[in-house]
A and B are shown apart, each in its own frame.
Chain A
Amino acid sequence: MSRTEQQGRRVFLKKTASAAAVAIAPGVMLHALPAAAAPRAEAVSGEIRWGMLIDANKCADGCNDCVTACDKENGLDLVDMPEGADEAHWERQRPRWIRQVKLKDNLSGKITNLPMMCQHCEKPPCVDVCPTGASFRRADGIVMVDRHICIGCRYCMMACPYKARSFIHAEVAEKLTHTPRGKGCVESCNLCVHRLDNGESTTACQDACKHQAIVFGDLNDPESAVSRALKKYPSVQIRADLKLNTGIRYSNV
């Protein structure tokens, strides 16, 4: 096969791949299902560590798609504002697993946007302080709350340097089967654990990001998209000085 033919093939493959990606509209994006998409039968192990690389340069000002997708995926949009509550107060208090953060460098005026959520630390302060063991780190690196044990003391919310956790103040009328939610428990991003446990390999925020600012995958696998991106581009951990070894990394911050 000649060189030009090879190039032709490569270009053809690239084009068909991008065409396939465009054909599926963002709203109806199919989840990437591996061949054996079955509910997990064996306990998670430390062989995998889930993580993300977020490119703040690609994160567009005014775009809120990841937040909306997370709210919908995890039933956060089903949590109603208490009657008679102040709207501004509700916006500060309502449960949110992912927040859009805008940074401004006062010297240069440069504005950076980034999504901020649970950073899935290797040494999570929320787990350190939890008096009941409800806040825990799963073997595959996901930091979660076991609501069966959570007493709602909110110590973890105080301990988290990323303000990643929310508290459910009132009973929730409607909840999703895969995201139980009740009065008096703390919760935060769990990297769409129900998807991962059912054999999928993407998160809702990643699927929703039309700017491809979020790369998600296994940090322990050197061939995964996220590992390759981390190897290629400079990245930072937010508050790296705390030495928490976060699973969520940012580039161009």
Chain B
Amino acid sequence: MIRIRSIMLFLAGAMLGLAIGPGNAFAGEAVEGTAKADKLEQCVEPTPVMRRNHFEFIKHQRDLTVHQGIRSSKHSLAGCIDCHARKDASGKAVPVNAQGQFCAGCHEYVAASLDCFSCHSAVPGEK
């Protein structure tokens, strides 16, 4: 009985952790509110659209950019990173694929393994 109760408690704790959101749970060194996106109302599309379709947007955009040279589109991976990367206390950008950060936070939770950052930079570009 005690064992069942402890399992129940563990599950409740785990669910509470999830409810707070992975972004907060493993934020690490990143300081909240330091990403450009933190100060904006909405992404380039309404939030539910972005949640459901962001991968479609950047997949289309990548082909247009690589093959046709179009770099002015409102959907771009570089744009995601530029806006969503947080900074640490010293003002240095934290990679978006670091544990608990904007990209990894959800992708880890839903077990989506993707490859963007094995080639692409995960911190905003120098300008």
Interface residue ranges, A against B (CB under 8 Å): 38-44, 136, 138-140, 144, 146-148, 171, 174-178, 180-183, 185, 193-194, 196-198
Question: Which of A144, A146, A183, A193 contacts B118, CB < 8 Å?
Answer: A183
Whether the Cβ atoms of A176 and B70 lie closer than 8 Å is no
Would A176 and B66 count as touching, CB distance under 8 A? no
Q: Which residues of A contact B64 (CB under 8 A)?
A: 43
**Residue of chain A at shortest CB distance from B119:** A182
Q: How far is the CB of B33 from chain A (nearest CB, A)?
A: 23
A187 to B119, CA, bound (A): 12
Q: Are A148 and B62 also in contact (CB < 8 A) when A177-B81, A178-B125 are? A: yes
What is the 8 Å Cβ interface bit string for chain B, positions 28-61, against chain A (1 contact, 0 not)?
0000000000000000000000000000000000
- Which residues of A have CB within 8 Å of B67? 136, 138, 146
Contact pick for A177, options B62, B63, B124, CB 8 Å: B124
A38-B72, A182-B118, A194-B71 known, 16 other contacts, Cβ within 8 Å: A39-B71, A42-B70, A138-B68, A138-B69, A140-B69, A146-B67, A148-B66, A176-B121, A176-B125, A177-B124, A177-B125, A178-B125, A185-B119, A196-B69, A197-B65, A197-B70
Contact residues in B for A183 (Cβ distance below 8 Å): 118
Instruction: Give, as a whole number of angstroms, the nearest-CB distance from A14 to chain B.
Output: 35
Nearest 4 interchain pairs by C-beta? A177-B125, A182-B119, A43-B68, A39-B71
Query: How close is A178's CB to chain B, nearest CB, in angstroms?
Result: 7
Given A148-B66, A171-B118, A183-B118: A177 and B72 within 8 A (CB)?
Answer: no
Task: Find the A residue at minimum CB distance from B78.
Answer: A177
Chain A residue, CB-CB nearest to B59? A148
26 contacting pairs across A/B (C-beta < 8 A): A40-B71, A41-B72, A43-B64, A43-B68, A43-B69, A44-B69, A136-B67, A138-B69, A139-B68, A146-B67, A148-B66, A171-B118, A176-B125, A177-B78, A177-B81, A177-B124, A178-B78, A178-B125, A180-B120, A180-B121, A182-B118, A182-B119, A193-B69, A197-B70, A197-B71, A198-B71
Are A180 and B119 neighbours in the complex by a CB distance under 8 Å? yes
Closest to A146 in B: B66
Chain B's closest residue to A171 (CB) is: B118
Of A39, A138, A196, A198, most buried by chain B (CB within 10 Å of CB) is A39
With the chains together, A136 CA to B68 CA distance in Å? Answer: 11
- For B65-87 the 0/1 string (1 means CB < 8 A from A) is 11111111000001001000000
Given contacts A177-B121, A178-B125, A182-B119, contact A39 B66 (CB under 8 A): no
Q: B119's contact among A39, A44, A175, by CB below 8 Å, is which? A: A175
A139 to B69, CA, bound (A): 10
* B120 CB contacts on chain A under 8 angstroms: 175, 177, 180
C-alpha spacing A228/B72, complex, angstroms: 32
**Are B69 and A175 in touch, CB under 8 angstroms?**
no
Cα(A181)–Cα(B117), bound, Å: 9
